[in-house]
Structure 1
Amino acid sequence: MNRRNGRISFTLQRELGQLIDESISDPRLAPMTSVTRVECTPDFATAHIYVSVLGEPEIRQGSLEALESASGFLRREINNRIHIRHVPRLVFHLDETLAEGADMLKRMNEVARQDSKLPVNEFEEPEADSDLGDEG
């Protein structure tokens, strides 16, 4: 990613995050929806928007559908906020990394809970053989 692409991606991420929080009133949109990253194609024709949504799979899918249906509105608002020659087509994707991390943490906590239920065996060191050290 070149410097210009990085700047535009960062600006789109910031502006889209604000717009999603402040301007979309679709009931399908989960309150805990955040833009985690934006990747623009080299020709800036398309911007891949990765969003993280906390909640069940149905809630995540509903939020994605709400964002897709609001993409025209979001493009117009982006055009009003930042002045670039061509506002890219917005393609939304669910970013599952936070959900996967939360699931992994949940599993680790479950294993820790199960381990705490196991009986504790005290480690006993083997006794030193007194004949080995004292010859003579």
Structure 2
Amino acid sequence: MGNSFRVDRVGMEIKREVNEILQKKVRDPRVQNVTITDVQMLGDLSAAKVFYTIHSTLASDNQKAQTGLEKATGTIKRELGKNLTMYKIPDLIFIKDESIEYGNKIDEMLRNLERKD
């Protein structure tokens, strides 16, 4: 049970650090509008699912951001290694966070429903 607290804490720290690294260290224009929304760690801390959003609705921008994040993974892991006191930096798996778009879609549907009444 105590291990889940550590897993959550490491996930929060990685989220904070990756956001900062993307802003300050990664110069790739493809990832400039990327925001890390969540990090889910495996129980053994060997891998982290890093969820992100991008401030664009274009499919091409989404693909460019994914490619940019994958290219920057080495830099991000190296910077995490400098900033975190962990034996092994987890593998990073970047996944687009669809929850915000989904929430916006539901909000729009509710607004349309209210207008019809």
Fold agreement, TM-score > 0.5: yes
Per-residue CA deviations over 1:77-131 (Å, capped at 9, x if unaligned) read 0000111000011110011000111222233334445x27xxxxxxxxxxxxxxx
Structure 1 gaps of 5+ residues are: 117-136
TM-score by length of 2: 0.86
Instruction: Please identify the structure whose Cα radius of gyration is greater.
Output: 1
Q: Is the 8 A contact 2:31 2:65 kept in 1?
A: yes
Instruction: Give the structure, 1 or 2, with the largest relative contact order (CA under 8 Å, sep 6 or more).
Output: 2
The aligned length equals 114
Kindly indicate whether residue 34 of structure 2 is the aligned counterpart of residue 42 of structure 1: no
After TM superposition, where is structure 1 displaced by more than 2 Å over at least 4 residues in a row?
A: 103-113
How many percent of aligned residue pairs carry the same amino acid? 22
Q: Does 1:53 align with 2:54?
A: yes
* Rounded Cα–Cα distance in structure 1 between residues aligned with 2:6 and 2:63: 32
1:40 and 1:60 map into 2 onto residues whose CA distance is: 23
CA contact (8 A) 2:23 2:32 kept: no
TM score, norm. by length of structure 1: 0.75
Structure 2 stretches of 5 or more lacking a match? none
Distance 2:24 2:108 in 1: 31
Q: What residue number does 1:68 align with?
A: 70
